[in-house]
Amino acid sequence: MSALFSPLTLRSVTLPNRIVVSPMCQYSAERGEATAWHMIHLGSLGLSGAGMLFIEATSVEPDGRITPGDLGLWDDATEAALVPVLAAIRKHSHINVTMQLAHAGRKASSNVPWQGGQLIPVSQGGWLPHAPSALPHKAGEEPPLALDAAGLNRIREAFAASARRAARLGVDALEVHAAHGYLLHQFLSPLANQRADDYGGSLENRMRFPLEIFDIVRAAFPTDKPVGVRVSATDWVNGGWTLDDTVAFAHELQKRGCDWIDVSSGGVSPLQKIPLEPGYQIPFAKAVRRATGLTTIGVGLITDPLHAEQLIEAGDADLIALARALLYNPRWPWHAAAQLGATVEAPPQYWRSQPRGQKALFGEISFGQR
């Protein structure tokens, strides 16, 4: 049997295969509320045949949005806007739906990528971001506001409230976003965190707030449903966050009942130098998995089903997450199943699409036509 198409159980959630649709920001919300775009986008990916679908990074408060178009879950309106989207997915797919809870920190108040992605000044309709320290992401930008005790408490409460709303929406799992240079990663990295209190300085102190947030989210979400964390394994900058730091962080998360580590990298500094190639982040996932035994998600320019199969077979990762590859080819899991001799779920309206010679791709099918 294909390793990529073998099941995996996380608490009460069983994934039929090891393919994950990564959280991909769409920058298409209005005041944080999901729109018709999310219905089309997530609906399409919900029919992909993957084992798990991540909703994009979802901000826990308005000031935590990367852009004004970010999806949010901070009030009744943002919660209600997701109800029909999830209902449509549930009606036509058995895919497991996970939400990634996030806060952009000092990378907030930015333009959408197709408008340059640069910081939007307050004078042009932006807002002052919050961060561990008053250090701008890029030279020349206005510094963010350093979070004080009240600000830290506000963010704690925001993560807890969003986790409770996600539970009401019935999502199957949650992921805490502590990667890509956003708020929790900023606390972890010495490049962004130069605090002199209990939340800065030593590795133990820099991990403190992200670990608190994990505990808060875990406590606010049903105990039978899994909660994972996305990390950047390295900053790719000298003097920044390292793989050894990531392993130490993963050990602490493991003690707290973390169900998976989603291992990415970079994002906290524009000075990063990343050697891009297929699977370039897999060695980080492999190292975390071998050091901790935690379930790991491997990511990073993985587009070939045989490559994904080999990574699972070798034990380099437990799950493989795809992003741009699934935007380009939303039926990637179907094609992977056909190539690897596996079976994948598809809606009956599409059963007639399977190629000749692949009659078992969607399982045993009878069209009942005369």
Q: Which of 182, 280, 328, 350 is catalytic?
A: 182
Q: How far lies 146's CA from each of 187, 257, 287, 313, in Å?
A: 11, 30, 33, 45
Q: For this structure, is 350 an active site residue? A: no
Name residue 45's beta-bridge partners.
Answer: none
Nearest residue to 19 via CA among 271, 291, 326, 358: 326
Q: Write out the chain in H/E/C secondary structure.
A: CCCCCCCEEECCEEECCCEEECCCCCCCCECCECCHHHHHHHHHHHCCCCCEEEEEEEECCHHHCCCCCCCECCCHHHHHHHHHHHHHHHHHCCCEEEEEEECCHHHCCECCHHHCCCECCHHHCCCCCEECCCCCCCCCCCCCEECCHHHHHHHHHHHHHHHHHHHHHCCCEEEEEECCCCHHHHHHCCCCCCCCCCCCCCHHHHHHHHHHHHHHHHHHCCCCCCEEEEEECCCCCCCCCCHHHHHHHHHHHHHCCCCCEEEECCCCCCCCCCCCCCCCCHHHHHHHHHHHCCCEEECCCCCCHHHHHHHHHHCCCCEEEECHHHHHCCCHHHHHHHHHCCCCCCCHHHHHHCCCCCCCCCCCCCCCCC
Distance between CA atoms of residues 12 and 46, nearest Å: 20
65, 105 in Cβ contact below 8 A? no
Distance between CA atoms of residues 71 and 99, nearest Å: 11
Nearest residue to 294 via CA among 245, 257, 256, 261: 261
Catalytic residue IDs: 182
